[in-house]
Amino acid sequence: MAHKTVRAFLTTSLAALLLMAAFAAGASAAPVWKFEGSELIGNETVVGDATLSSLTIPGLTTSCKKMHYEMTIFNSAGTGKATLKALSFTTCFTSAPECTVKTIGAEKLPWAGHLATVSSSPYLIVEGVKVGILYGGAECALEGILATVTGSAGALYDNTAETFSFNPSSFKATKTSLKALGSTVEWQGIFTTEATGIHNGEALTIS
């Protein structure tokens, strides 16, 4: 009887240890920034551009021939983090000939970001997004109206191409959303990445 009790105790203890190991493995699997396959130590500045990126409010799409960003990336508590310090817009126009873009700019910078894994794919989630767009045009329904895009945005990272992609699928996967003028805003854009510090020229991956 004593042997059965000891055997049951050992079996239960082993199961508990295996469960703890599984949880530990899951915790260590949080995505981090890596250069040339090695985890980033300290901070690095990353910049990049998107060509013909767009923000769509139902009925009107605002596109820019170039969006340029600058962010600082680092790993903290086993997870990749980011601070988006700058986002600029060049040569912007709308899908409606009667509407022009008088001004467009990022507000309340810096924005905070963090990495996440969804269905085995790496994502960057940016919180506190705020972009103000002032439209013009005598016949434009939004003439003189400042549309403020706010919310959070999730981008899928391609480890091979080293690019971030914002699109409806990436927003759905990360449960993020942007809104303006009471409606949901769709963001489309593929951003390149390039380290400008000591990791310049090295491959940036997330895993």
pLDDT given for residue 30 in this prediction: 84
Q: Cα 139 from chain centroid?
A: 36
pLDDT given for residue 106 in this prediction: 98
Query: For the segment 141-160, what is each residue's pLDDT rounded down to a tens digit?
Result: 999 999 999 999 999 999 99
3-state SS class at 111: strand
- Provide mean pLDDT across the span 68-93: 98
- Provide mean pLDDT across the span 180-200: 98
Percent of the chain with pLDDT over 70: 86
Give dist(CA 86, CA 170) in Å, integer.
22
Query: Is 202 a residue whose pLDDT tops 60?
Result: yes
Any idea which residue has 């809104």 for tokens?
Answer: 179
Query: For the segment 86-131, what is each residue's pLDDT rounded down to a tens digit?
Result: 999 999 999 999 999 999 999 999 999 999 999 999 999 999 999 9
Give dist(CA 191, CA 68) in Å, integer.
8
Q: Which helix (H) or strand (E) holds 52?
A: strand 44-57
52: left (phi over 0), alpha (psi -120 to 50) or beta: left
Classify burial at 98, counting beta carbons within 10 Å of its beta carbon; exposed 0-12, middle 13-18, buried 19 or more.
middle
- Tell me which of 59 and 5 has the higher pLDDT: 59
How is residue 40 annotated by DSSP?
-
Give every strand in the sheet of 33-35, ordered side by side.
Answer: 38-39, 33-35, 204-206
- The DSSP secondary structure of 79-109, one letter per residue, reads EEEEEEEEEEEEEEEESSTT-EEEEEEE-S-
Query: For the segment 14-37, what is each residue's pLDDT rounded down to a tens digit?
Result: 444 444 444 333 333 689 999 999
Q: Which helix (H) or strand (E) holds 25?
A: helix 2-28
What is the average pLDDT score of the chain? 90
Give dist(CA 30, CA 118) in Å, integer.
11
Considering the entire predicted model, what is its pTM?
Answer: 0.84
Of 127, 188, 121, 189, give the one whose Cα is nearest residue 156. 121
- Tell me which of 10 and 138 has the higher pLDDT: 138
